[in-house]
Amino acid sequence: MKITVVSLLLLVCSVSSEETTTKEQPQDIGAVVRELTAWLVQKEVEISSLQRENQVTAEPVFSLNFLSVQQVAFSASLSAQGALTLGPFGTPTILIFKHVVTNIGNAYNPNTGVFTVPVRGVYHFEWHIGVIAEPSHGSDAVLIKNTVPTFNTYEYQMSGYGSSSQGVNLLLEPGDILFLRIWPGSKIYDNDVHQTTFSGHLLFTMNEGNNSSLSANV
């Protein structure tokens, strides 16, 4: 409004100056002011209309971008085809879940077994580990966040088949990586019915600094 008033005064002064200099027929200053005021009001209405149109156009784009970062989910099993037994290994080894059922957002890499966090938020992960009973070996796997172990699964049976399961909610930052690792001396089993699986999804996004009661220590 300051710019509008200044512009109006300058125009009025310009008209007054022309009258003084040229000594032409006197003009109705009031009429000029009214015309200028009406013109300025019309321009303000046009600008407001353009701003509303721009906002309406931008909102769907924002909504699409917001939805795209929220759509993160994957599920995969260890064996792509047939029975598979892994281990025992002499060192900790990453489990690569090759049979991908769902990978919305493509955050999980079936070639490396690594999930890379695309957006800050709270994620839920679950893993189920199958085992064939063997007296000398158990089934022991852990979810790793970057380089830090989180929750572990363990199963040991003298006979038959067994499985262990685990789940965790984690506050994660973009670029964090997560994967399952089998501990030395462990054996893991999977087959066509997919007993050994790894799944995860984004529960909700979180703004920077909004940690609520969640901890990011792991």
Is 146 or 4 the better-scoring residue by pLDDT? Answer: 146
Q: What is the pLDDT of residue 218?
A: 63
Q: Is residue 87 domain-resident?
A: yes
Q: Is residue 210 domain-resident?
A: no
Of 15, 46, 68, which residue sits at a domain end?
A: 68
Do 193 and 128 fall into the same domain?
yes
3-class SS string, 132-161: ECECCECEEEEEEECCEEEEEEEECCCCCE
Q: Is residue 217 domain-resident?
A: no
Q: What is the pLDDT of residue 138?
A: 75
- Quote the radius of gyration of the chain (alpha carbons, Å): 34
In this model, does residue 6 exceed pLDDT 70? no
Average pLDDT on 38-50 reads 76
Give the contacts of 67 (CB within 8 A, at least 6 positions apart): none
Q: What is the pLDDT of residue 3?
A: 47
Q: In angstroms, what CA-CA distances link 207 with 3, 62, 64, 144, 171?
A: 38, 16, 18, 24, 11
Helix (H, G, I), strand (E, B) or coil at 185: coil
The domain containing residue 181 runs over which residues? 72-205
Q: What is the pLDDT of residue 194?
A: 86
Is 138 or 179 the better-scoring residue by pLDDT? Answer: 179
Do 60 and 82 fall into the same domain?
no
Pair 78, 188: CB distance under 8 Å: yes
Residue-wise pLDDT for 20-33, tens only, equals 444 445 557 777 77
Please choose, from the candidates 208, 8, 200, 6, the residue with its C-alpha nearest in 3D space to the C-alpha of residue 116: 200
Residue-wise pLDDT for 59-81, tens only, equals 554 444 444 557 999 999 998 88
In this model, does residue 181 exceed pLDDT 70? yes
Which alpha helices (H) appear in the chain, and where do they start and end? 2-22, 29-70
pLDDT-derived band at 41 (thresholds 50, 70, 90) equals confident
Do 37 and 121 fall into the same domain?
no
Q: In angstroms, what CA-CA distances link 30 with 11, 15, 16, 49, 97?
A: 12, 11, 12, 29, 82
Do 154 and 139 fall into the same domain?
yes
Of 14, 34, 68, which residue sits at a domain end?
A: 68
Q: What is the pTM of this model?
A: 0.65
Q: Is residue 215 domain-resident?
A: no
Tally of domains in the chain: 2
Q: Is residue 88 domain-resident?
A: yes
Q: Tell how many helices (H) and how many strands (E) occur in the chain.
A: 2, 13
Residue-wise pLDDT for 128-164, tens only, equals 988 877 777 778 899 999 999 999 887 777 776 777 8
CA distance 8 to 68: 48
Q: What is the pLDDT of residue 81?
A: 83
Please choose, from the candidates 217, 142, 141, the residue with its C-alpha nearest in 3D space to the C-alpha of residue 173: 217
